[in-house]
Structure 1
Amino acid sequence: MKIIKEYLDSLFLTVPITPETKKAKEDLLAIMEDHYHELIAEGKSEHEAIGAVISEFGSIDEILAELELEQEEEYESYDDVESVTLDEAFDFWAVTRRFAFELSLGILLLALSMASIMFIGFSEIFAFLGLFGFAILVAVGIGFIISGSMKYVREKRKLDDRPLARDVHKEAFFQLENYDKSFRMGLSLGIGLCVLSIPTLFFFASIVYSAELGVSTFFATGGVGAFLIIYTSIVRNGFKKMTNGQYFVSDEDHPGPRATKHSYGAAAPLMITMRKFYWPLVFLFYLFWSNLTGWESSWIIFVVAGIFYSLVSETFKRHK
């Protein structure tokens, strides 16, 4: 049901906020939810029902035409930039999957390297194999992390601050819903393994009387759990990026000029200026104040600055 609401929110991104459009959006949500429940009653699965509801409703232009409402003009012209196409979206999702796998595998190998080094205390041959395995696993693991990250960053830069085509929005919601079951299973299993690694440690240390084996098993089990959590979360976030807003945002903390203007309207120049100078100025003030009054409690400056920044951001943000 959350997917349906998010999809409807994405359709109304460029619709002016009026009592009529709010009422139309609420009515459409009620109709879509009713249709969803009808399909569930007919024996459709949750995924099939959501997919059918989304596919049976037309584009926002058709919906607004039927409701005799108008879509507001874009905040800026797209003449200087092309929208992200469906092919580019699929390419991005493929790169995201590779990045998720390489990053997760790299972290798993680092965890296994810690597991292998625990064997150095058993015998000389185990010590050699443990150190050799540690060195190899660390090198390969870091290699995977760096390689995957560089490819992923390059792909995000290609799409950054570009408007998302409507068919991309729609396909992203389909992909997000389709992956939801895999995400829940992977996340649950990953958390379960991470939790299981703790009693496993105590079991080998207390029952088998082998602390080394306990720590080794702890890292191995936790590493597999971390692999599942990180992999499924990154893949899901790749789909989610194509459903959040009208523009592709590479870095959520530093959206581009177009995405910022879409979110903040006339206040966009203020927010862009704040992102450039606010935190450096806060840091300089922190150094000045700490030297003046002492370092014991001056860290509170960052807490207050963070709260103030969030308040300013929310105050000027355009809420659809």
Structure 2
Amino acid sequence: MEIILNYLDSMFTQLPDTEEVRKAKGEMASMMEDKYVELKAEGKSENEAIGIVISEFGNMEELIRELGIREKSAPSITINEDKRKPSMKINLSRGKEYLDDMRQYARKIGIGVVLCICSPILLINSGVRTDAAAPTAMGLIVLFGMVAAAVVLFIVNGVSMSKYEYLQQEVFELEPGAKTIFGKMQEEARSTFGRKMAIGVSLIIIGVIPAIVAGIIFDESQAAKIGAAVSLLLLFVAAGVYILITAGMPYGCYDVLLQKGDYTVERKKNKLIDKVAAIYWPLIVAIYLAYSFLTEDWGRSWIIWPVAGVLFGAIAGICSISSKNENDR
């Protein structure tokens, strides 16, 4: 309830301090409290109740009309707003819509990434068990089919989320009180985010163990067992990455809305890492396919992917440092 009252205070700072306005503020506080108590009684969570209350009572123009504040109060809002630096305004309901859509988007992107990571499993195992062309061909069909399905997920869902690109790229201003609420929501989500990140990273590390052990214990004559260990590695990595994506992307939305971290006003002006990624990953795919087809060494060529991931992390770090240096000039 404290957040709601703080939000109410921020709304009324735009209005003149008159008896009429103070009375309207008291009535508004009473209505908001009643609605909040009603929602909590219905079983709504703290954040859900706060969001619904503010979305229903947070429109200043409706407030002026419904509570009978004289029209002469309105110009003060216009004057104050004109003095501010012009910027896009984002209200609480729009921000919550962005968060909800991102949660769904993250799940679908996570599924797409899992398909990509697991796509070579059949090919790896068919290639090490026999030299026949049919199993290898089937493995290739499955690989390309899973990658194609993943690409469809990426494109379709990417298009649906493109309507929010301006939040990451443009400077905007959160409406009064929304910043406080999103900050509190991020604080409450931090522990869950940290726990999921730890689980995801642990799964990836655990998945490496069977591959290392198999490489030490088994020789080339036992390629089938090595292939099984590599498949297990990919499954663990896929599970870990899925958790990282579904935890990290929604949590990152708070930084987007609060314009923190990688989404500060200064960093929004830098597009270097996006340009690098657009070239880097298609190039890695081309290298992987070219090497694998030319050498027919599908059982080992998978190592390109973890190496490429680590290398891209280093490239992203260099781009970030370069961007920071340019902004500091």
TM superposition score normalised by structure 1: 0.52
**Alignment partner of 1:163: what SS?**
strand
Instruction: Specify whether residues 304 and 100 from structure 1 end up closer, same or farther in structure 2 by C-alpha distance, changes over 3 A only.
Output: closer
Higher helix share: 2
**Unpaired runs of at least 5, structure 1:** 1-47, 49-72, 256-274, 277-301, 313-320
Distance 2:246 2:171 in 1: 25
Partner of 1:108: 114
Q: Please point out which of 145, 149, 155 is paired with 1:146.
A: 155
Distance 2:116 2:149 in 1: 9
Q: Report if the CA contact (8 A) 1:161-1:249 is conserved.
A: no
Mapping of 1:24-39 within 5 angstroms? none
Q: Report if the CA contact (8 A) 2:167-2:256 is conserved.
A: no
Residue type at the aligned position of 2:207: S
Q: Report if the CA contact (8 A) 1:168-1:242 is conserved.
A: no
Q: Is 1:309 the counterpart of 2:326 in the alignment?
A: yes
Using the TM superposition, give the Cα deviation of residue 187 of structure 1 relative to its aligned residue in structure 2, in angstroms.
0.3
Mapping of 1:121-270 within 5 angstroms? 121=127, 122-123=129-130, 126-127=135-136, 129-157=138-166, 160-207=170-217, 209=222, 210-244=225-259, 253-255=267-269
Residue type at the aligned position of 1:254: K
Q: Is 1:99 the counterpart of 2:94 in the alignment?
A: no
Partner of 1:89: 95
Residue type at the aligned position of 2:249: I
Aligned-CA RMSD value? 3.9
TM superposition score normalised by structure 2: 0.51
Instruction: Specify whether residues 305 and 251 from structure 1 end up closer, same or farther in structure 2 by C-alpha distance, changes over 3 A only.
Output: closer
Distance 2:162 2:97 in 1: 13
Instruction: Specify whether residues 171 and 126 from structure 1 end up closer, same or farther in structure 2 by C-alpha distance, changes over 3 A only.
Output: farther
Q: Report if the CA contact (8 A) 2:266-2:327 is conserved.
A: no
Instruction: Specify whether residues 240 and 206 from structure 1 end up closer, same or farther in structure 2 by C-alpha distance, changes over 3 A only.
Output: same
**Alignment partner of 2:267: what SS?**
coil
**Unpaired runs of at least 5, structure 2:** 1-45, 47-79, 272-318
Q: Report if the CA contact (8 A) 1:186-1:232 is conserved.
A: yes
Using the TM superposition, give the Cα deviation of residue 146 of structure 1 relative to its aligned residue in structure 2, in angstroms.
2.2
Q: Report if the CA contact (8 A) 1:172-1:240 is conserved.
A: no
Is the radius of gyration larger for structure 1 or structure 2? Answer: 2
Using the TM superposition, give the Cα deviation of residue 238 of structure 1 relative to its aligned residue in structure 2, in angstroms.
0.4
Using the TM superposition, give the Cα deviation of residue 156 of structure 1 relative to its aligned residue in structure 2, in angstroms.
2.8
Distance 1:250 1:310 in 2: 11
Residue type at the aligned position of 1:168: A
Work out the percentage of aligned pairs sharing the same amino acid.
Answer: 13
**Alignment partner of 1:166: what SS?**
coil
The alignment of Structure 1 onto Structure 2 pairs a total of residues equal to 200
Using the TM superposition, give the Cα deviation of residue 76 of structure 1 relative to its aligned residue in structure 2, in angstroms.
5.4
Residue type at the aligned position of 2:267: D
Q: Report if the CA contact (8 A) 1:187-1:229 is conserved.
A: yes
